[in-house]
Amino acid sequence: MTWTLPELDRASRLSLQAQIAAFYGEAIRDGRLRGGERLPPIREVAKVCDVTRATVQEAYRLLAQRGLVEGTVGRGTTVLTPVAPPGPGDGNGREVHGRRPLSPYAEAALRRTREMPGAPPLPSGRQLVANFAELAPDCDRFPVDEWRAAMDAVLRRRGAELLGYANSASGLVELRALLAGRWRDLDAQVTADDLLITAGAQQALDLALRTFCAPGDTVVVTAPSYHQMYGLLRAHGLQVVQVPFGDAGLDLDRLQRQLQRPAVRLVYLMPTFHNPTGRTLDLPQRRALVEVIARTEVPVVEDEYQHSLRFRGEALPTLRSLDPRGLTVTVATVSKELFPALRIGWVAGSPEVLRPMAAVKRFMDLETSPLLQAALVEFVQRGSLDHYLDDLRAELRQRHGALQDAAAAHLPAKCTVTAPDGGFLAWLELPGAGQGDRLADLAVERGVRVVPGRVFDLHGQPSRGVRLSLTRADRAQIAAGVAVLGDCARALTAAPAAARPFL
């Protein structure tokens, strides 16, 4: 019999038994292990994972304590059938005629949607001082009139053509050529043939997983990392391992160890204006990273969703342009830089990668809207995008400057704030474990919303940091909000050790 077995990370903050329990807990909740099925024998897990039987026994005990499994003498450890809420089928959500009503993908996506963590909500009646929570462009800045003019122009000229099928899953060639030309400061060799147009960056990420991975494979991500990616990875039935990403960049020693795992099939990175920290890998760090990756055949997905929002410093080459193997793909989007309703993103990759990716996309949605693609071309050619981005970058420069000034004036000495060269985000970190999560709870009681760092950890572990998004806070709100955060941070860092939360 083929058993579902975990891969353990001995450098992880989680204990080995907790990792085993987390692995099987996710497999049960995602539907990869179903009610009535048995977990592998303890001796088998102990042998493959190179741990003691007592470690596996403790992991199984934790699962039983959570009501997920039941141990029976002579039968081993069996997955319990969950009690489902009322739903389709026989009226109470149970399977009908022995069939499961939902696929494991749908069950995992639904569960992750229900469990999706976020910023603490503002208490009823509390006046908002500053909203650092949402990572969504400010709707008051949207170029509505300019976009309407571009849309009207292409409809007048090509309406009948654009309202039909374009018969190209790769996207309009004029848009791909335009984007490739704008991308050459990051990737000098890119051409229209190297781009695939997608319905936003989220579809591009999904396409990458469908192209490179199969259920049970392992994907490497940073710690912390983009939290929406966790749900996508779990829905695909993939295992996830983390590599720390801090002030010194990516932990390349840890990455190298993870890449030696035979099940690792993909690495997901955000090298520029990283979400949630705002950090960027500099050129030496990028070259060192590519040197490690180039020793393997593991593909890389680099997420450059904020690449155009640089307001300081020189543009840095993409990892794809530095990868001699041709196994790195770059994901980008206009949704964050312009407005979210424009679901247009793209993947830059070699033709060998894009051909199967385009085939997968065709069976997902046939093609991205030709009308929106053509309108974007018109919008760019009129100079409207550059005008909008110039204004946005100038505003972001001022907002980040206001954040740094306020941080210097109000935050305790042991607190740090990243100083990105672009993008919407920064990361505030306190000295003690879990203090970032507690800061989010204290701040919202005083009208300031931030996203606690545990949201961006694969296992929701306590964090020292919080994410600050500057999309919905102007300079006055930034100053007022950071003053509140400073008061809360002082209360936390000054508390006696025995009273500090999460320590």
Tens-digit pLDDT profile for residues 444-485: 999 999 999 999 998 888 899 999 999 999 999 999 999 999
- Which residues neighbour 289 within 8 Å (Cβ) at sequence distance 6 or greater? 249, 250, 252, 255, 269, 271, 281, 319
471: domain CATH number is 3.90.1150.10
Top mean pLDDT of 116-130, 311-325, 450-464 is at: 311-325
Residues 378, 394, single domain; the answer is: no
Residues 253, 323, single domain; the answer is: yes
How many whole angstroms separate alpha carbon 334 and alpha carbon 68?
43
Count: domains in the chain: 3
Q: 443 in helix, strand or coil?
A: helix
Tens-digit pLDDT profile for residues 20-72: 988 888 888 777 788 888 899 999 999 888 899 989 998 998 888 888 888 87
Residues 419, 396, single domain; the answer is: yes
Q: Is 343 left (phi over 0), alpha (psi -120 to 50) or beta?
A: beta
Is there a contact between 113 and 231 (Cβ–Cβ < 8 Å)? yes
Residues 162, 254, single domain; the answer is: yes
Residue 108 domain-assigned? no
Residue 55 domain-assigned? yes
How many whole angstroms separate alpha carbon 470 and alpha carbon 138?
9
Cross-strand partners of 195 = 348
How many whole angstroms separate alpha carbon 310 and alpha carbon 271?
13
For residue 92, the model assigns a pLDDT of 42
Percent of the residues in the chain that have a pLDDT greater than 90, as a whole number: 66
Is there a contact between 413 and 264 (Cβ–Cβ < 8 Å)? no
Is there a contact between 186 and 307 (Cβ–Cβ < 8 Å)? yes
Q: 451 in helix, strand or coil?
A: strand
Residues 28, 171, single domain; the answer is: no
Residue 130 domain-assigned? yes
* Residue 73, pLDDT above cutoff 80: no
Average pLDDT, the chain: 89
Name the token pair of 122: 């503002």
Residues 350, 398, single domain; the answer is: no
* Residue 501, pLDDT above cutoff 50: no
For residue 495, the model assigns a pLDDT of 64
| Beta strands, E only, 154-209 | 195-198
Residues 305, 184, single domain; the answer is: yes
Is there a contact between 464 and 436 (Cβ–Cβ < 8 Å)? yes
How many whole angstroms separate alpha carbon 223 and alpha carbon 245?
6
Q: 429 in helix, strand or coil?
A: strand
Q: Could you say which of 50, 74, 101 is where a domain stops?
A: 101
Q: Is 313 exposed, middle or buried (0-12, 13-18, 19+ CB in 10 A)?
A: exposed
Neighbours of 238 (CB within 10 A): 20
183: domain CATH number is 3.40.640.10
59: domain CATH number is 1.10.10.10
Tens-digit pLDDT profile for residues 384-434: 999 999 999 999 999 999 999 999 999 999 999 999 999 999 999 999 999
Token pair 């030496």: residue: 284
Please report which confidence band the pLDDT of residue 2 belongs to, taking 50, 70 and 90 as the band edges.
low
Residue ranges making up the domain that contains 70:
16-101
- Interval 358-363 mean pLDDT: 93
Neighbours of 29 (CB within 10 A): 18
Residue 442 domain-assigned? yes
Residue 223 domain-assigned? yes
Residues 446, 430, single domain; the answer is: yes
Element at 303 (helix H, strand E):
strand 300-303
Tens-digit pLDDT profile for residues 332-354: 999 888 999 999 999 999 999 99
Helices (H), 383-474: 384-410, 435-444
Q: 419 in helix, strand or coil?
A: coil
Is there a contact between 186 and 419 (Cβ–Cβ < 8 Å)? no
Q: Could you say which of 382, 416, 439 is where a domain stops?
A: 382
Residues 217, 322, single domain; the answer is: yes
Residue 9 domain-assigned? no
Tens-digit pLDDT profile for residues 243-279: 999 989 999 999 999 999 888 999 999 999 999 999 9
Residues 131, 157, single domain; the answer is: no
Cross-strand partners of 267 = 220, 300
Q: Could you say which of 357, 382, 407 is where a domain stops?
A: 382
How many whole angstroms separate alpha carbon 459 and alpha carbon 224?
10
> Among 337, 317, 479, which Cα is nearest to 422's?
337
Residue 1 domain-assigned? no
* Residue 204, pLDDT above cutoff 50: yes
DSSP labels, 83-103? -PPS-TTTSSS--BTTB-SS-
Is there a contact between 409 and 401 (Cβ–Cβ < 8 Å)? no
Q: 376 in helix, strand or coil?
A: helix
Of 2-6, 170-174, 439-443, which range is least confident?
A: 2-6
Residue 53 domain-assigned? yes
Residues 185, 89, single domain; the answer is: no
Is there a contact between 242 and 222 (Cβ–Cβ < 8 Å)? yes
Token pair 């801090």: residue: 246
Residues 238, 374, single domain; the answer is: yes
